[in-house]
Structure 1
Amino acid sequence: MVSKLSTNSTLSPSYGSHPTIITDVQISLSPTNSDTTCTLFLHYELPPLLFVDPYELELRGAEYQVLETRGRGKKELERPVHALPVNEGDDDEEVGVEVVIQRTLPAETTAPARVELPIHVRYGEPVASSTSKPYTVQEFSGPTVVLTCSDELLSCDRTTTLPQLLLDTIPTSFRGSSLCVALQSPDQSLAISAPLGNTVDLPTVELGTTAVVLACFAWVAWEAWRAGARLRGGASSKVKSN
């Protein structure tokens, strides 16, 4: 069986706080036996600015299975990027969360497959200058995609070194099968634009926040006084009528 595997990943949209990594997988296989089953494994390596919500991924169980997530910020879903924990002895601060997912292909293995991974953007570290750009552009790579089939007749380039987490995560039952690997081309890297706060605006924000809180407190106090006055007025009317 001759195999060709190629992928193309895009980000939709390329801005905002809740984009989706869309990976289209093109598979070209010669006719297979009816008993042949093929499976895709996708390994994502996200920068610290990005993360996945494990509870959201659970809702996609009909599309794929999440085998493993690990890395900085795996559990700290609400923390800004500059407040993420740094593991002792971890020198690679450019890597955040890694995700490995598995998708079993239908019998029509030659049909294109699309995998969508929803991601989220953390608050970036604020800039400290009025001349700094109010946003940052984060580049990152699409997923490493592995195709494996049960008949062990795939003919692929096996010179590619797989990420360690992917090697550790692929179930034992697939490790005896031959693997086809597809990497995102470097000139097809993904990029997202994320807004940044500015510490120059901090006094204005603090003053505005204080004013809003005091105004809300005054409004609540005023409404409470008015309600009390109405209740007292109603009670006085009843006493006079009696």
Structure 2
Amino acid sequence: MQSSSLLHAESFHPLFKTQITAPDFKNCSLHLHYFLPRSVFVDPYELSNRANDYSFKYSGPSNLELPVAALRKDAALLLSIIRPLSDDGILDVEVPLHMRYGTAAIGSSFELTELPWPDAFFACNKSVSSARLPPMLREFAMIFDGMDIARLEPPSGAIPFETVRTPVGDTANVGRVELGTAIVMLVAFFYLLRATLRTMGRMSIITLPAKEG
């Protein structure tokens, strides 16, 4: 069985926590497959710091700074768990997530993003189950060719997704923001221009040759 929860669900940096409760499968490896909507991304460098817990494969936009409006596809993440289950058959897996800047909307200050729970499963060398792999990219599925799969289902009656609530801009404020930005840029330009001209004037006085008597 597996269950998930989201910590810091009202921020740009939530933490996806999944608890695995399962018997000890011999000759099996534990994996979690995540579907990530366009507004959600992971930082591969950050995940690399958790190498003692899991290895990973990621498929999605490589530019982490792009806003949601600039993306055309979702992302996927596959974890291969390294840390063993406890003696009680329990393991917590944490994945740090990041939210992209959403598109401004009329009268809206927050955006809700539904994040599905990951699919958790064991991949085994010996025949222990006839379950099929959860839907995933072919490049991920190829890893499990010739292996038997034992899927871990959510508790009965559970709603298998979490909701992230992140702030977005209000289009009613766009005009004021753009005007303010333009004014600040113009002021900065003229300040730098004035400072440059004054510096050039001082330099010309210093380098002016002395008149001969």
Q: TM-score, normalised by structure 1?
A: 0.71
Q: CA deviation at 1:196?
A: 1.5
**Amino acid of the residue matched to residue 47 of structure 2?**
L
- Contact 1:51-1:122 within 8 A present in 2 as well: yes
Report the secondary structure of 2:22's partner residue.
strand
Q: CA deviation at 1:192?
A: 0.7
**Aligned with 1:11 (options 6, 28, 36):** 6
- 2:46 maps to 1:56: yes
Report the secondary structure of 2:33's partner residue.
strand
Alignment of 1:133-148 (within 5 A): 133-148=108-123
- Contact 1:68-1:100 within 8 A present in 2 as well: yes
Q: Which residue of 2 aligns with 1:239?
A: 210
Q: Which residue of 2 aligns with 1:171?
A: 144
Could you tell which deviates more after superposition, 220-229 or 43-52?
220-229
The gaps in structure 1 that reach 5 residues or longer are 1-5, 87-95
Q: CA deviation at 1:199?
A: 2.1
Report the secondary structure of 1:187's partner residue.
coil
Q: CA deviation at 1:39?
A: 1.8
Report the secondary structure of 1:239's partner residue.
coil
- Contact 2:54-2:83 within 8 A present in 1 as well: no
**Aligned with 1:67 (options 10, 34, 57):** 57
Q: Distance in 2 between matches of 1:109 and 1:37?
A: 17
- Contact 2:3-2:20 within 8 A present in 1 as well: yes
Q: TM-score, normalised by structure 2?
A: 0.79
**Amino acid of the residue matched to residue 69 of structure 2?**
H
- Contact 2:121-2:152 within 8 A present in 1 as well: yes
- Contact 2:84-2:91 within 8 A present in 1 as well: no
Q: CA deviation at 1:159?
A: 6.2
The gaps in structure 2 that reach 5 residues or longer are none
Q: Which residue of 1 aligns with 2:159?
A: 187
Q: CA deviation at 1:49?
A: 1.6
Q: Percent same amino acid among aligned pairs?
A: 26
Q: How many residue pairs align between the two structures?
A: 211
Q: Distance in 1 between matches of 2:18 and 2:38?
A: 21
Q: Distance in 2 between matches of 1:164 and 1:212?
A: 48
- Contact 1:51-1:97 within 8 A present in 2 as well: yes
**Amino acid of the residue matched to residue 109 of structure 2?**
P
